[in-house]
Chains A and B, each alone.
Chain A
Amino acid sequence: EAGVAQSPRYKIIEKRQSVAFWCNPISGHATLYWYQQILGQGPKLLIQFQNNGVVDDSQLPKDRFSAERLKGVDSTLKIQPAKLEDSAVYLCASSSPRGRSTDTQYFGPGTRLTVL
């Protein structure tokens, strides 16, 4: 079974530029998550999709961050314009649709973003 795919793995941009990250979840996983992990902190949930609908985006800075999952499969997270404090690892995860507290989230390798 193929895991969660993410690209690019690394990205370096100047502040005020735009950047986009792509995620392809495990086949059949209806729930997709984007996390931001800043150095020294734990991963923080940015947005959660169930199929192509948003379940939780309460911690997404909507003035600069956007995410979509148009066909309920792969997803794109965009930052426009980027700030220095956006430097982080962006992790994508997916889970099966059983909706239980024991459901495991399967993670991709992440995209390490550096904003200069």
Chain B
Amino acid sequence: GAVVSQHPSRVICKSGTSVKIECRSLDFQATTMFWYRQFPKQSLMLMATSNEGSKATYEQGVEKDKFLINHASLTLSTLTVTSAHPEDSSFYICSARDAASGGAGNEQFFGPGTRLTVL
């Protein structure tokens, strides 16, 4: 149980285009999903917290108009990188918190990640 999927796993796009990444909780409901960015050999940096049915909360320094997050259902959140540039190339990872877990443990389940390369 507690599986999170991401699609696509790898995407290459041209500079100036937009890319959408999907994050799905396959066997549980996720009221909260998180989006992280990871540069090579570095840690995960939280970009935003996505709550189902409401606007995402972005971390300081993250451009909300560039990284559009939608969490329209309890099992799906999407991250759209708009007008992508080479500096947006990175590994993007989502995680989901099981709504049924309440506050205990705060465990998040991570997706396998999406490698974005902008040419």
Please determine whether chains A and B interact with each other in the same assembly: no
Chain A residues near B (Cβ < 8 Å): none
Interface, chain B (partner A; CB < 8 A): none
